[in-house]
Amino acid sequence: MGVPFDDFKFNRQILSAIADAGYTEATPIQQKAIPPILNGQDVMGIAQTGTGKTAAYVLPILMKLKYAQGQDARALILAPTRELAMQIEQNIKTFAANTDLRTVLLYGGLGPKAQIEAIQKGTDIIVATPGRFLDIYLAGHINTKPLQVLVLDEADKMMDMGFMPQINRILEVVPRKRQNLLFSATMSDKVQLLSGNFLEFPTVIEVTPQATPAQTVNQVLYYVPNIKTKINLLKKLLDSEESISKLIVFCKTRYAAEDVYKFLVRKYDEEQVKVLHANKGQNTRINSINAFKSDEVKILVATDVAARGLDVSMVSHVINFDVPIVIEDYVHRIGRTGRASQSGDAITFCNPAEEYYIEKVQKLIRQPITVLPLPDDVFIEQTPYEERQEQAREIDMQKRRENPDFKGAFHEKKESNTRKAAAPKSTKPGDKYKKPKTTRGKSFRKK
Is the pLDDT at 432 greater than 90, yes or no?
Answer: no
Predicted pLDDT of residue 143: 95
Three-state DSSP class for residue 152 = strand
User: Per-residue pLDDT for 422 more than 70?
Assistant: no
* Dihedral sign from CA coordinates of 63, 64, 69, 73: negative
pLDDT at res. 209: 52
Cα 299 from Cα 265, distance rounded (Å): 10
Domains in the chain: boundaries = 3-206, 217-371
Residue 66 CA from chain centroid, whole number: 31
- Helix (H, G, I), strand (E, B), or coil: what is residue 281? coil
| CB crowding 190-212: b at 16 or more within 10 Å, else e | bbeebbeebbeebbebebbebbe
428 pLDDT band, cuts 50/70/90, is: very low
The answer to whether residue 431 scores a pLDDT higher than 50 is no
7-21, 34-48, 356-370, 431-445, range with the lowest pLDDT: 431-445
Task: Name the DSSP letter for residue 213.
Answer: P
Q: What is the pLDDT of residues 392-419, one digit of tens each?
A: 999 998 888 888 777 766 554 444 444 4
Whether the model pTM is above 0.75: no
Query: pLDDT value at position 393?
Result: 92
The model's confidence at residue 97, banded by pLDDT at 50, 70 and 90, is: very high
In CATH terms, are 3-206 and 217-371 the same topology?
yes
Identify the band that residue 212 occupies on the pLDDT scale cut at 50, 70 and 90: low
Mean pLDDT of 53-80: 94
Overall fold of domain 217-371: Rossmann fold (3.40.50)
pLDDT of residue 228: 94
For residue 438, pLDDT over 60 is answered with no
Superfamily of domain 3-206: P-loop containing nucleotide triphosphate hydrolases (3.40.50.300)
Task: Tell me if residue 182 falls in helix, strand or coil.
Answer: strand
pLDDT in tens, 253-279: 888 999 999 999 988 877 889 888 766
Q: Please state, in angstroms and as integers, the Cα–Cα distance from residue 360 to each residue in 16, 223, 365, following that order.
A: 45, 16, 9
Across the range 335-348, mean pLDDT stands at 78
